[in-house]
Structure 1
Amino acid sequence: MTVRTTARSGIRATTTTATGLRATAVAILAVAALVSCTQEKTDSGLGAEPSAASATASPSADPVENADQAEQAAGEATEEPTAPAEPAPELVRDAFATLQATLNDTCTPGAGDCAYFLGRVTQELTELDEAMRADPKGPGHFRQPLADMKVLFGKLGEDRSTPHLEKHFSEIVGTRDGINTWMQDHPDDYR
């Protein structure tokens, strides 16, 4: 009888182990199905973000790893968004193109038609100055035009009123024309 009882106990133990393995297999298949159902479908654009789906839907065998994943996901969710970067200055080529667009324009100081023209040329020179200073070639490459604009901006100061700009009409137009000439000798900077 002992042999029979021992044999039955062995069979029961094997049956229990097999049942446990079958239950584990069923659980793994269920989890796999859940994960496949919750993953992002890239073709249709539906679903959650892949990292969020995998962090929440795929259980790990290691509870510490689950805790680490949850902590990392919580940290990512609570990070403050970074401030938007300030817009980069225009490229030299683009800034020069808008300055060149003023070459055939002019006005008559005192006639009332200079406010727009001088304001625009001054603005275009300011933007070209910023673009040249931010250019990867460095301000040393643009030494002459930057020096010319520095002299002009020194004379203009902060006053951008029409009478003040008309007073410096020849310096504004002369700086624009001088920069145009310099740039024509440096086509690699605007083509």
Structure 2
Amino acid sequence: MFTSSVRSTVVAVVALAALSVSCGTDPDAAPPVDRQQAATGGVATVPTSAADAAEAAAEDEASAGVTPAPTTPDVVPPERVRDAFAGLQATLDDACTPGNCAYFLGRVHDELHRLDRAMKADPKGAAHFDRPIELIAKLDAELGGDRSFENLKRHQTLLVGTRDRINTWMQGHPDDYR
């Protein structure tokens, strides 16, 4: 007779084997019905190129009410100012400490630019956010396009000061982040 642990092992192995068989594909099973095929009375069209396939997929998503995701990494929907500002505020309790300084300065830089993009894309218009956008442009001019740790460290006072001035400006405009 089997012991209880051997019996449990056998039951587990049988269950896993049954599961793997049920999860496999049946070559004789009918393929899933394509929405386009169902809409055209059973006549399916086969895309002839990758572009045709992408277009067909976009049409399927549109008919299903799905908003397609951006197709390239450069196409990112604009972020809301509120969310970008929250990211910048998350840097307020952090500091340039040994072992953390490069991360901290890089993050402050990134969060400022994330907020800059959100403000420029906001429906209120870039003119509404003229002061923060101006402060970030001044910072960028000083950094000269060099985002290296050494350059960020050299301009640490300006970088953190820009963050703090924008935080103060935003606190005076609560309707922009609440």
- TM-score (ref. length: structure 2): 0.63
What is the CA distance between 1:130 and its match in structure 2?
0.9
The aligned counterpart of 1:157 is 144
Q: Distance in 1 between matches of 2:83 and 2:108?
A: 14
Note closer, same or farther for the CA distance 1:179–1:56 as it changes in structure 2 (3 Å cut): same
Matching residue's letter, 1:88: P
> In structure 1, what is the Cα distance between the partners aligned to 2:109 and 2:135?
13
Contact 1:107 1:117 in 2 (8 A): yes
Q: Which amino acid aligns with 2:79?
A: E
- 1:141 counterpart SS class: helix
> 1:89 touches 1:127 (CA, 8 Å); kept in 2?
no
For residue 52 of structure 1, what is the aligned residue in structure 2?
37
Q: Deviations over 1:5-37 (max 9, x none)?
A: xxxxxxxxxxxxxxxxxxxxxxxxxxxxxxxxx
TM-score under structure 1 length normalisation: 0.59
User: Residue 100 of structure 1 aligns with which residue?
Assistant: 89
What is the 5 A alignment of 1:1-191? 48-57=33-42, 74=45, 77-78=47-48, 79-81=52-54, 84=71, 86-107=75-96, 113-191=100-178
Distance in structure 2 (CA, Å) of the matches to 1:50 and 1:163: 56
Q: How many residues end up aligned between the 2 structures?
A: 129
Runs of 4+ in 1 over 6 A off after TM superposition: none
CA offsets, 1:46-76, max 9 Å, x none? 952454224234xxxxxxxxxxxx7xx64x8
Amino acid paired to 1:105: D
- Larger deviation, residues 81-90 vs 93-102: 81-90
Identity of aligned residues (%): 52
Question: 1:94: how far off?
Answer: 0.7
Mark the CA change 1:53 to 1:162 in structure 2 (over 3 Å): closer, same or farther: closer
CA distance in 2, matches of 1:114, 1:162: 9
Structure with greater helix share of residues: 1
Task: Compute the displacement of 1:89 (Å).
Answer: 2.9
Unaligned runs of 5+ in 1: 1-45, 58-69
